[in-house]
Structure 1
Amino acid sequence: GSLSAGERLLVCGSSVPATGEPLLGSIENGPDAVRLLVESITVDIVGYGDVPYREGEPAPDVPAGLSLSRKPDGFDSDDNASDFVPAGPTPGLPNFFDRDLELAPGEAPLPCCGEPFAMGFRLVNRGLERFTGGVVISASAGAGSGEIAVDVDLAPSESKETAVELPYAPQESFVLRARIESAADENVRNDTASAPIGPSPGDLVVSEIMYRPMSGGSEWLEVASRAAVEISLARWRLSDATGTRRLVSEGGLSIEPGGHIVLAQDSALFVRDHPLCPARVAEPSGGWPWLNDGEEGDEVALYDPAGRVVERVRYTDLVGEERGRSIERFSTDVCSSFPGGLWHRSSSPAGSTPGVPNSTSLPAIPSPGTVEAAPNPFCPVRDGTVRIWGMTAAGETGLLVRIFDIDGVEVERLFGEEEGARVFGCEWDGRAAGGTESPTGLYICVVEFITRGGGVCRREKRCIALYR
Structure 2
Amino acid sequence: MIGQNKPSSILPVSESSPATALSGSMRMRFGRSGRFIWTCISKYKQYSLIVLLGLACWTFLSASIVINEVCYDPTGSDSGLEWIELYNNGDTNVNLDGAEIHVAGSSFTRIFTIPYFILRPGRYLLMGGNLVPNAIFTFAGTLQNGGSETDAIRYVSPNGNYTDTVHYDSPNTYQLVDDTGIPAESFAPDVPEGYSLGRKINGLDTNNSAVDFIPFSDPSPGLPNPVACDYAIGSVELDPDLTSPILSVWICNRSHYSPLHQATLDIYVDQVLMQSLEIAPIPAGDSTMVQAYLSLDPVQSQSISLILSLPGDPDQTNNTWSSTTQGAQAEASLSELMYYPDAGKPEWIEIVQKAAVTARASFVIRDASGNSSNFSLPPMVGYYVICADSASFAMAHPDCPPEVIVKTNGWASLNNDGDVIYLYDISGQTTTLTDSLSYNASSTRQGYSLERVADEDDYRWQESRSPGKSSPGAANSASQGEIPQIEGRLAVIGSPFRRGEQLQIVYQLPAQTNRISCSVYDQDGRRRAVLAVNQELGSSGQLLWDGKSSTGSYLPAGLYFIVWESRPAGGGRTYRKQMTAVFSN
Query: TM-score when scaled to structure 1?
Result: 0.37
Q: Which has the larger radius of gyration?
A: 2
Q: Which has the higher contact order (CA 8 A, sep 6+)?
A: 1
Return the TM-score normalized by structure 2: 0.31
